[in-house]
Amino acid sequence: MTDGMAEFVGVLHVHSTFSDGVMSLAEIREWALTEELDFVCVTDHSKRLRDTRLAEFCSECERLSTNVLLVPGVEFEHSGRHVLTIAPADVLTTLTDEIAVRDPETVRQRGGLTIWAHPSLTYAVSLRDAVATPYDGWEIWNRKVDGPAPNLPVLSLLRGLGSGREILSFAGLDMHEQIGDTLPRLSLRTAESELTLASLIDSMRAGDYTIVIDAARSMTPNSRAINLSLSLRVRSYARHATTRARCTAAALKHRVLTGVWP
Ligand SMILES: [Zn+2]
Ligand SMILES: [Zn+2]
């Protein structure tokens, strides 16, 4: 703890057996304890959390939240786009795929947070519309989709939006089974000494966190400062080339389908 602020390290975007992950919430908790994490945002797929399953999922996260905070979240899906939503349980249960994906302002007003998941995977469907939708953040690094370095085209797209738009950069794991190597974590700073869902959402919304790869390599959510090692940079540029090609193909496909450039 420094200057009265507490620091908590955790990860975003993990799937459990409540949707298509192979680890149960109890196993995720065990894994988090060995990784010395303070929190895990579990964001299971909305289509597997219908009816009473969502409430069950939320109370199971609460029950298992000893020594590590299991944050219940949902990965909503609409218009070919995936959106991670973190919100109090009583708010999560009021949301639908359409609200979370098309109307993040409503989620915000209800106290929740929305993050456009793996943007490059859904470019082909509606890039312009997605860019215009006011999500709190974008997952500029999805460990499963983007590999061991952030997605540079997504990062440059985000930077290219210019001032006037405050969009946070997030790194997520999209973990369905245990990942062996590079694990981007979020290091949150909170004014309270105990981490709660409310303080976690507040810090994320305020951009009071750093994406941490290890002690020497980190990036801030506004993405102005990136400090990556050379090997990571090389991998990220290689990744850049492939994603760029994929984005161009997606943009062309979009133009063919709609007659409009995204
Ligand atoms: Zn997804
Ligand atoms: Zn996912």
pTM of the model: 0.84
Please state the domain extents for the chain: 6-258
Inform me whether the pLDDT recorded for 216 exceeds 60. Answer: no
Residue 1, pLDDT above cutoff 70: no
The model's confidence at residue 155, banded by pLDDT at 50, 70 and 90, is confident
Confidence of residue 179 (pLDDT cuts 50, 70, 90): confident
Write a three-state SS string for the chain: CECCEEEEEEEEEECCCCCCCCCCHHHHHHHHHHCCCCEEEEEEEHHHCCCCHHHHHHHHHHHCCCCCEEEEEEEEEECCEEEEEECCHHHHCCCCHHHHHHCHHHHHHCCCEEEECCHHHHHHHHHHHHHHCCCCEEEEEEHHHHCCCCCHHHHHHHHCCCCCCCCEEEEECCECCCCCCCCCEEEEEECCCCCCHHHHHHHHHHCCEEEEEECCEEECCCCCCEECCHHHHHHHHHHHHHHHHHHHHHHHHHHHHHCCCC
The per-residue pLDDT for range 68-117, each reduced to its tens digit, is: 999 999 999 998 899 999 999 999 999 999 999 999 999 999 999 999 99
Q: Residue 228: what pLDDT? A: 53
Starting from the CA of residue 78, give the closest ligand. Answer: 1
Expressed in angstroms and rounded, the spacing between residue 42 Cα and the centre of ligand 2 is: 9
Q: How far is the CA of 81 from the centre of ligand 1 (A)?
A: 8
Please tell me the predicted confidence (pLDDT) of residue 225.
Answer: 44
- Average pLDDT value for residue range 28-52: 95
Q: Ligand 1 mean position to 5 CA, how many Å? A: 33
pLDDT bin (cut points 50, 70, 90) of residue 33 is very high
Query: What pLDDT score does 258 carry?
Result: 44
Q: What is the CATH topology of the domain spanning 6-258?
A: TIM Barrel (3.20.20)
Q: Which ligand is nearest to the CA of 13?
A: 2
Q: Which ligand does the CA of 43 lie closest to?
A: 2
Reply yes or no on whether the pLDDT at 212 is more than 80: yes
